[in-house]
Amino acid sequence: MSPSRGLPRLLTFTNPLKLTVRHYSTPPQIPDKHPLELLRNSPHRLHIYRSTSTNPFFNLSLEDYLLRHSPPTSKILFTYTNSPSIILGRNQNIWSEVNIPLLDSPKHSHVNLVRRRSGGGTVYHDLGNLCWSVITPRKSFDRDFYAKVVVKALHSLGVSEATINERHDIVLRQPGKDLKVSGSAYKIIRERAYHHATLLLSSKLDDIKSLLRSPLKEFITTKGVESVRSEVSNIGVDKEALTEKIEEEFLIANEFGKEGDEWAIRVTLDEGEAIKVRDYIKEGMKELQSQKWLYTQTPEFTLSLPPSKPLPELSTLPGFQPILPQNSKFTLLSTSSTLQNIQISTSKDPDFSFVQSQESHIRLLNTPFSGPHISQKLSEVKSLPEDTIKDLGRWINTAVGAWRGDEKFDPYKTDDGEKTLRARAIDRDEQRKKRGLVESVG
């Protein structure tokens, strides 16, 4: 193998991709291993991965794998598309961000509800959306650098109004207003960091608007992170063409081949194969789909419903707008998505109102913040008027909805009863400590 001097090359394996920018001669010998098995010790500086899966739980877990298992100085571009999903930021409240009744309706039964590991607000993904993610050393973490790279790619495809706003998002600058076409979020760990973002190419904008408008929002006060609403638009360019342009600009921005001979990795990853070779990804997917992650992670919040005012109409209960009696109080304080302080009363009489509050607190304490659970417990409160409770229970049942995801999740045991990677890491630590102890005693 005698590589021609100074010619930067792209090393492609598994499904070879059409190369638009770089030429290469005979690639170095590739060992008969999956690219993910080679990642940890890869000598290459720049890596480009694409996922063929549209499963958001897989793509986010693969991204987390790349973040935590790539060589500390490498830079990675990873692109993927998710099937329809609502994706919340790590510290957000599902009920103030998402229109649960609409999500639970048959029309949207295919939409996933996902909490990601990075910060920021709620976004909606569908097949008309391209996600890009750049993993870098923590030291070179910069909120705008790769957004600018993507803007350059957009410019080269003729989207000249693309620019970056002060919230580090890519927008189309129109006279008098900006239309958001991309939302960014970041995750920083010990030595590494990523910047990932959406790009609206041909998404269903009506779904974004309706699914991300919660009927409970105005009644919830949360200590968590609230989304900032923006007017959105599609960019309308071809996904394949844009992906290739972003890959090209990623290499240019990192001065690929400037120092002479260089290989970059370019790989297309398949869900089945990736899971087969890496348990970490499989376990990450389980965790993301657990109720523990999806719901218990919710920061403390309070739901307070007002008296003498019709409650908002829910999309699956048309025309049903119960009104809490005058002087009513309805406040639920929830920590880790479990009711911790409950105050429900309807009576004018302060003594009886106190009794109602006490009883509702006792009966609802430690109930999960889930529609069916709350409405069931409400119906058991004897001191509250039956008709009010019935209507309110029905409304809350729909507005809050049932929990999705896997109820039973054990971070230390796999489905086959084996120890998970986390459990094995703890074992190793303990053994190491024991050995250390024996050595020091000896």
Partner 1 sequence: MATFRIASRALPRASASLRASAVRSLAPLNRRQFSVTPSRFEIIKRYTEDHEWISYDTTTNIGTVGITNYAQEKLGEVVFIELPEVDSQIEADDSIGAVESVKSASDIMSPATGEVIEVNGALSEKPKLVNEDPEGEEGWIVKIKLGDGEAERLSEELMDEGGYEAYTQE
DSSP string, 89-150: -TT--HHHHS-HHHHHSGGGTT-EEEE-SS-S--EEE-TTEEEEEEEEEGGG--TTHHHHHH
Which residue type occupies 389? I
Report how far residue 132's alpha carbon sits from residue 63's, in angstroms, rounded to the nearest whole number. Answer: 10
Least Å distance, CB 423 to partner 1, is: 14
- Kindly tell me which of 300 and 313 has the beta carbon lying closer to partner 1: 300
Closer to partner 1 by Cβ: residue 299 or 312:
299
Phi, psi of 196, rounded to the nearest 5 degrees: -120, 155
Least spacing, CB of residue 90 vs partner 1, in Å? 5
- As a dihedral over the C-alpha atoms of residue 382, residue 387, residue 388, residue 390, rounded to 10 degrees, the angle is 80
- Select 24 or 186, whichever has its Cβ closest to partner 1: 186
Cβ distance to partner 1 smaller for residue 181 or 193: 193
> What's the min distance (Å) between Cβ of 91 and partner 1?
4
Rounded to a whole number of angstroms, the minimum distance from the CB of residue 4 to partner 1 is 37
Which residue, 225 or 269, is less far from partner 1 as judged by CB?
225
Distance CA 72, CA 138 (A): 9
CA distance 98 to 88: 9
* Residue closer to partner 1, measured from CB, 53 or 118: 118
Rounded least distance, CB 88 to partner 1, Å: 12
Q: What minimum distance in Å lies between the beta carbon of 143 and partner 1?
A: 7
Show Cβ contacts of residue 84 under 8 Å, excluding neighbours closer than 6 positions.
108, 110, 111, 112, 124, 125, 126, 127, 207
Task: Please state, as a whole number, how many other Cβ atoms lie within 10 Å of the Cβ of residue 365.
Answer: 13
Cβ atoms of residues 299 and 223 within 8 Å: yes
Residue numbers at the binding site for partner 1 (CB under 8 A): 89-91, 117-121, 141, 143, 167-168, 184-190, 193, 223-225, 299-300, 429
| Ramachandran angles phi, psi of 272, nearest 5° | -55, -45
Least distance (Å) between residue 150 CB and partner 1: 16
Nearer to partner 1, 102 or 185 (CB): 185
